[in-house]
């Protein structure tokens, strides 16, 4: 099961259980190659062991009702299922004509990405959220990709906000140049004055390039990405 499918499954009760299992594993001072039993997890989270076995079989895509797992394997499987290695969801900062055109561009979805939210310093309509909600949104959904499509003079602030929220890759199309950031990959690109954006199927290729570089640097998978 690809990471995207796991993330779709983990909603509501699934997410609550998985987060409880992960929190328990984080509190253990044991070697990474040590096995953890479903009985231990059940006792620690006050859950029926049968339920733990069923949940972990689905989350890890093993198809088996196992009674133990290697600690490190389970830890990473839970993080992946909860979206910690999410490179498919993108947020956008900006609310002008360029931002609107990017939000309407269908090529992101065709390549496996989702523009999940747009933010603006002064939201002009329902499509945009205020900057005040940015950090909580990124932390809750483990967002690692952002697009800066603001006015040029607002780009630096937008880039710094994304970096502060833990975003690892920024595609800056504001027309300004963002300086290199220590913990964030920045790709500056400027569209032509009359370049078509809304229907341009090649627009999302720049995001593909950023994601490939991030995945290579971090060792994360790209099962979701669809290339022409």
Asked if residue 121 and residue 69 are part of one domain, the reply reads: no
Asked if residue 109 and residue 47 are part of one domain, the reply reads: no
Asked if residue 22 and residue 60 are part of one domain, the reply reads: yes
**The tokens of 143 are what?**
């967002």
Kindly write down the DSSP assignment for every residue of 39-97, as one continuous string: HHHHHHHT--HHHHHHHHHHHTT--S--SEEEHHHHHHHHHHHTTTT--SEEEEE--SH
**The tokens of 206 are what?**
């720049």
Condensed to tens digits (0 to 9), the pLDDT of residues 157-182 reads 999 999 999 999 999 999 999 988 88
Condensed to tens digits (0 to 9), the pLDDT of residues 66-125 reads 999 998 889 888 988 888 888 999 999 999 999 999 999 999 999 999 999 999 988 878
**pLDDT at position 61:** 74
Which one, of 12, 23, 37, lies nearest residue 75 by Cα?
23
Asked if residue 76 and residue 94 are part of one domain, the reply reads: no
Phi, psi of 205 (to 5 degrees): -65, -30
Which one, of 113, 166, 179, 175, lies nearest residue 140 by Cα?
166
Q: Which of 64, 81, 98 is the last residue of a domain?
A: 81
Asked if residue 53 and residue 107 are part of one domain, the reply reads: no
Asked if residue 204 and residue 113 are part of one domain, the reply reads: yes
Q: Which of 81, 103, 127 is the last residue of a domain?
A: 81
**How far is the C-alpha of 66 from the C-alpha of 60, rounded, in Å?**
11
**How far is the C-alpha of 98 from the C-alpha of 56, rounded, in Å?**
44
Percent of the chain with pLDDT over 90: 55
In what order do the strands lie in the sheet containing 145-148?
A: 128-130, 114-120, 89-93, 145-148, 169-172, 185-188
Condensed to tens digits (0 to 9), the pLDDT of residues 11-49 reads 567 788 888 999 999 888 766 668 999 999 999 999 999
Q: Which of 49, 81, 113 is the last residue of a domain?
A: 81
- Residue 68 domain boundaries: 3-81
Which DSSP state fits 30? -
Name the domain count of the chain.
Answer: 2
């Amino acid at each position: 099961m690809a990471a995207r499918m796991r993330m779709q499954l983990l909603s509501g009760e699934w997410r609550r259980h998985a987060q409880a299992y992960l929190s328990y594993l984080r509190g253990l001072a044991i070697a990474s190659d040590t096995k953890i039993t479903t009985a231990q997890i059940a006792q620690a989270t006050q859950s029926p062991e049968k339920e733990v076995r069923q949940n972990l079989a689905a989350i890890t895509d093993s198809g088996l009702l196992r009674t133990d797992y290697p600690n490190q394997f389970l830890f990473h499987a839970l993080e992946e299922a909860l979206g910690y290695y999410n490179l498919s969801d993108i947020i956008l900062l900006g609310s002008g004509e360029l931002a609107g055109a990017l939000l309407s561009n269908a090529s992101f979805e065709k390549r496996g990405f989702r523009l999940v939210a747009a933010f603006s310093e002064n939201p002009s309509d329902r499509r945009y959220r205020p900057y005040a909600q940015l950090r909580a949104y990124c932390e809750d959904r483990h967002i690692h990709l952002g697009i800066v499509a603001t006015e040029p003079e607002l780009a630096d602030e937008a880039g710094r906000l994304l970096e502060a929220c833990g975003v690892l890759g920024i595609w800056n199309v504001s027309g300004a140049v963002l300086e290199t950031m220590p913990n964030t990959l920045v790709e500056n690109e400027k569209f032509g004055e009359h370049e078509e954006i809304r229907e341009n199927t090649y627009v999302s290729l720049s995001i593909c390039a950023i994601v490939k570089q991030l995945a290579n640097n971090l060792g994360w998978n790209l099962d979701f990405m669809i290339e022409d």
